[in-house]
Structure 1
Amino acid sequence: MTRFAFHEVSPKLFQAQLAVATELGDAPLIEPVLRDLIECRVSQINGCAYCVRMHSDSFAKHGGDPIKLAMLPVWQSADGFSAAERAALVWAECLTRAECQVTISKCHRMLLDHFEEAEISELTCIIATMNAWNRLGIAQHEFA
């Protein structure tokens, strides 16, 4: 059930939000399957069922491992996640939960072994954009 349709009520704002998301998909530095994984995890943390469903479907379409997706809520204690994926997930969780600056610095240092500065910038934008979409999704959709 939808409470309101953001894209209809505020089409200019929707287009601006969509433009950022689209730009992230054009010649990405972060591979689509990792982006999907991050977007799923952020959406899980935020409790946005609509976005979890959408990005789970995208993860599958991009060839993501279904076991990895099933283990995503417990990734910290699960096998099958690469060191780079773990660093990206730590960063996603840290920013989504708005940790203190000391923790954010610690999480950022973990990224440096696996990602270049431009990749970290893109990853950060993916996380920020997903958090914005989650808030919009939560506000709009009573059920997914």
Structure 2
Amino acid sequence: MADKRVNIGKQHPASYKALIALSSAAEKSVIEAGIDPLLLELLKIRASQINGCAFCLRMHTGDALKKGESAERIAVLPAWEETGYFSETERGALRLTESITLVSDGHVSDADYAAAAAVLSEEQISAVSWLAVVMNAFNRVAITSRYPVGNH
């Protein structure tokens, strides 16, 4: 691991500010599409789990808990398909988020898209997709810059 990395957000603040603006717009779209704010946080956590972004995991887990999400649902999130903790809407949004995050594993499959489309409106599919795109971008910024997490 490199001792010091360039913080790309600070090095190019205009780009980082544009990403923050995109994030705000995406989150607004998710809420306006009728997606629960707790699910919004779970989607951020799930993308961050897949990408292994400790900084974003710490931040969004804390945000979810403050907003009232249960520790149990956060704990089982990596295995959401095996549990009864999540509604059909949540499951569709999680599946779409995972598929977008894992796009290098075969793109967003027709099966994953169809599963999401069976329970989400077109507005919700678009909003969840934008949120996944933004969260993946933030994960890459934090991971590339090695944002500090924990005892440093």
Task: Give the TM-score normalised by structure 2.
Answer: 0.85
What is the DSSP-based 3-state SS (H/G/I as helix, E as strand, rest coil) of the residue aligned with 1:81? coil
Instruction: Please tell me whether residue 20 in structure 1 is matched to residue 22 in structure 2.
Output: yes
Instruction: Please tell me whether residue 123 in structure 1 is matched to residue 125 in structure 2.
Output: no
Partner residue of 2:100?
A: 95
Give me the CA root mean square deviation. Answer: 1.8
- Give the whole-Å Cα distance in 2 for the aligned partners of 1:2 and 1:57: 27
Partner residue of 1:36?
A: 41
Instruction: Please tell me whether residue 67 in structure 1 is matched to residue 72 in structure 2.
Output: yes
> Could you list the runs of 5+ residues in structure 1 that have no partner in the other structure?
none
Give the drift of 1:70: 0.8
Deviates most, 110-119 or 35-44:
110-119
What is the DSSP-based 3-state SS (H/G/I as helix, E as strand, rest coil) of the residue aligned with 2:84? coil
- Name which of 5, 8, 11 aligns with 2:10: 8
What is the DSSP-based 3-state SS (H/G/I as helix, E as strand, rest coil) of the residue aligned with 1:52? helix
Task: Give the TM-score normalised by structure 1.
Answer: 0.90
Aligned length: 143
- Paired-residue identity, %: 30
- Name which of 39, 56, 75 aligns with 1:51: 56
- Name which of 85, 88, 102 aligns with 1:83: 88
Q: 1:40–1:55: 8 Å Cα contact kept in structure 2?
A: yes
- Give the whole-Å Cα distance in 1 for the aligned partners of 2:48 and 2:126: 20
Give the drift of 1:138: 0.4
Return the structure number with greater relative CO, CA threshold 8 A, min gap 6. 1
